[in-house]
Amino acid sequence: MGTVTTEKTFYLASRSPRRRELLKQVGLDFEMLLLRSDPRRGVDVDETPLAGEPPLDYALRIARRKAEVGVHVSGLRSLRAKPVLAADTTVVLGDRIIGKPADRDDAVGILNDLSGRTHQVISVVAMAFRDRSEERVSISNVTFRQLKPAEIDWYVATGEPMDKAGAYGIQGRAAMFVTKIEGSYSGIMGLPLAETTELLQRFGISVL
């Protein structure tokens, strides 16, 4: 199995409140490890897709990088050595990666593109500890009903889409847009719990 830990907790290298809520939902103890994400002050992980990079390769690279950088940062901050959990959730329409909307008009455009169609949500969870790292992948299909322009305008006006890949949160108001899900609901939210708990156990952390 490789390097394991005797620690009972781990670091979560994510600012996502959804991921925190999901971990708490299943009773897991963790500590926050915030990486720099403000371009004005420098970022610890550049999340720009590489030219021609397939969406799955992108999600794997970003999740792995966040976890490995988290280990490095925890050492620089003289924190107790613990495994670092990180994740990346990538929304894909066709072969196009859809990130967080840049502004209101971008959010409207994204939701128009998703309207009446099926898209993929790729969630990769990664864990790193010392010189070891592993990843698990969850891929789900989400189908939206045909959305009316007034519905899209209303939803964007709530502000909910602005910090979310794909410009929607399935756990929020956008649930009324979804007609079909194939895959992991928690993965669509941003952290597939089945894969996450399996990974934690691989690193010696009890989930029961």
Spatial CB neighbours of 43, under 8 Å, sequence gap ≥ 6: 35, 36, 37
In this structure, are residues 14 and 30 in contact, taking their beta carbons and an 8 Å threshold?
no
Extract the tokens encoding 114: 């998703």
Task: Kindly provide the residue ranges of all beta strands, DSSP E only, lying in the chain, ordered along the sequence.
Answer: 10-12, 30-32, 37-38, 42-43, 84-93, 96-98, 118-129, 132-144, 178-182
Given the residues 88, 95, 106, 113, select the one marked as catalytic.
88
Pairing of strands 10-12, 84-93: parallel
Judge whether 44 counts as a catalytic residue: no
- Annotated catalytic residues are 88
